[in-house]
Structure 1
Amino acid sequence: MPLSTTHRTGLVDQVIEQLREAIRSGEWPLGERIPTECTLVADLGVGRNTVREAVRALAHSGLLEVRQGDGTYVRATSEVSGAIRRLAGTELREVLQVRKPLEIEGARLAADARTDDDLTRMRELLDARDKAWADGRLDEYVRIDAAFHQATIDAAHNTVLTELYRGLTEVVVASVAATTQLDVPEPAPTGHHGLLDALADRDAERAADEVCAFFDELATRA
C-alpha cells in the first residue's frame, strides 16, 4: 500500500483504522483480495493475533469477507454499506424500498438547492450513460447510471443525506445492474430526463413525482 508502522498503544484499533483507510481510499479495491496475513504482520510490525483480531472486526462490520482456504476479500467500502448488504442480501425489492424514500427526498431538496454546475454534471452523466447503452457497454452503463443517482443526491447539498447515500454505493450499483437485467431480452434504458427537467425548473414536487414513478415502475418488475 504501503501501511505505516503502528505505535505500541491500541494496536488493534490502529490496525483496524489503517486497514479501513486502505479500503476507503481504494488502495484495496472492492472485490479484490487483501495482502496475506504474513504480509500485513511484516508491514505493520505487529503480531499475528493483532492482525487476525483487526481482520475479524472488519469482517464482522461487513467490510471484509474471509474465505477459508482462499484469502480475505474487500466486501464493502463502508460499515453502512456492509450492514445494508447483510440485511438486504440479494433481495432487490428490499434495496429499492430503501432507495426510494431517500431519492424522493433528495430530488425535492435538489430542486431548491441545485446549482448550474450540478445540472451540467447530471447532463454529462446522462449523455454518457445513454451512449454506453447504445454501444452495448452494459458494465459502464450501470456504473454511470449509479453515478447519476449519486449526483442527484449530491445536488441536494445535504451532507448527512449525501454521506448516507454514499454508504449505499455497492447496493445501488448492484440494484442498477439487477434492474437492467429485468428488461432482457430487449432491454431499454429507464430515462431520467424528466427528473433532470424538473430540477432545471426548480419544481420540487414534479422532481419527487418523477423519482416515485421510476421506483414504482421498477417495483412492478422486481
Structure 2
Amino acid sequence: MTLRTARRSSLVDQVIDQLRGEITGGGWPVGAKIPPEPVLSETLGVGRNTVREAVRALTHAGLLESRQGDGTYVRATSELSGAVRRRLETAELVEILEVRRGFEVEAARLAATRRTDADIAAIAVALARRDAAWAAGEHSAFVEADLEFHTAVVEATHNRVLTDLYRDFSAALRASIGAAGSLLEHADVPHGPIAAAIEAGDADAATQATHACLDQILASTVPLSGTAPQET
C-alpha cells in the first residue's frame, strides 16, 4: 500500500466548497444571481483570481452560468442536475417524456405500498393545484403543479436515492417542458386515477394509471413534435 501525506485544500477548493454550499443549501436558488466577484472576494477574504477560478470550476460543473454583461447565475443545485440539464437541452421532448415515464411508473408502484397519510394529503393538494392551473389556462403554473404532483408521488416512495434523482431530473425537466409550451397544452391527462390508486394502496392500479397517463401524453405529443416514441 502506498499512501501519501494528505495535502491541505487550496484556497480555490475552499472557495468552491463554500460557494457550492450556498447553492446546495438553498441560499442561492436556481435562477438567482450570485454576488459579483469583488463582493465575493471581500466577503471570503481571498483574491479576485481565486474567486474567478472557483466560479469557473462551478460553471464547468454545470452549477453556475455566466451571462456576458449581466453576471453569474445559479443554473443547477448539483453536478448531476447540471449534467442532466445540459443533456436535456439537446434532447427531443419525446425522449425526455420516455425517461420521465420510467421514473414515474416505478415511483407510483412503490408509493402505493409505502405512502403515509401525510403523503396522501400532499398528493391531493398538488393534484388540486394542477387541476386549478389547467382550468385557468395558466401554463407556467400548470407545469409547476404537474411537477409538484409527481414529486409528491416520488417522495411517497420514501426511497431517498429515487427522490434525489427525481429532484435533479425534474429541475432540469422544468425548463424543457416549460419551453415546450404549445406541445403540452394538447396533452393534459387527468391524474385523479393515479392519486386514487396510491391512496387505496393498489400498486398494480397505480402502475397502470401512471403508464396510461404518460402513454397518452406521448401519443398526443408525437404528432406535434414529429418524433415517434419507443416501445417499452
TM-score, normalized by length of structure 1? Answer: 0.86
Q: Does 1:105 align with 2:106?
A: yes
Aligned residue runs from structure 1 range 126-141, under 5 A: 126-141=127-142
Name the amino acid aligned to 1:167: D
After the TM superposition, list the runs of 4 or more consecutive aligned residues in structure 1 that deviate by more than 6 angstroms. Answer: none
> Which residue number in structure 2 is paired with residue 85 of structure 1?
85
- Matched residues, number: 213
Deviation track 1:16-58 (CA, whole Å, cap 9, x = no partner) reads: 1221122223332322321111111111101122111111111
% identical equivalent positions: 50
Note the C-alpha offset of 1:180: 5.3
Give unmatched runs, 5+ long, in structure 1: 1-7
Could you tell me the TM-score, scaled by structure 2's length? 0.83
CA distance, structure 2, for counterparts of residue 170 and residue 9 of structure 1: 31
Superposition RMSD in Å: 2.1
> Which residue is 1:205 aligned to?
204
> CA 1:183–1:213 in structure 2 vs 1: closer, same or farther (change >3 Å)?
same
Partner-residue secondary structure (3-state), 2:66: strand
Q: Distance in 2 between matches of 1:84 and 1:120?
A: 30
Structure 2 spans left out of the alignment, 5+ residues: 1-7, 226-232
- In 2, Cα distance between the equivalents of 1:117 and 1:27? 27
Match of 2:70 in 1: 70
Shift of the 203–176 alpha-carbon distance from structure 1 to 2, 3 Å rule, reads: farther
Q: 1:95, 1:171 within 8 Å by CA — same for their partners in 2? A: no
One-letter code aligned to 2:191:
H
**Contact 1:96-1:175 at 8 Å conserved across structures:** no
**C-alpha deviation, 1:214, in angstroms:** 2.0
How far apart, in 2, do the equivalents of 1:120 and 1:176 lie?
Answer: 26
What is residue 229 of structure 2 aligned with on the other side? none
Contact kept in structure 1, 2:111 and 2:157, CA below 8 Å: yes
Deviates more, 1:172-181 or 1:89-98: 172-181
Contact 2:112 2:198 in 1 (8 A): yes
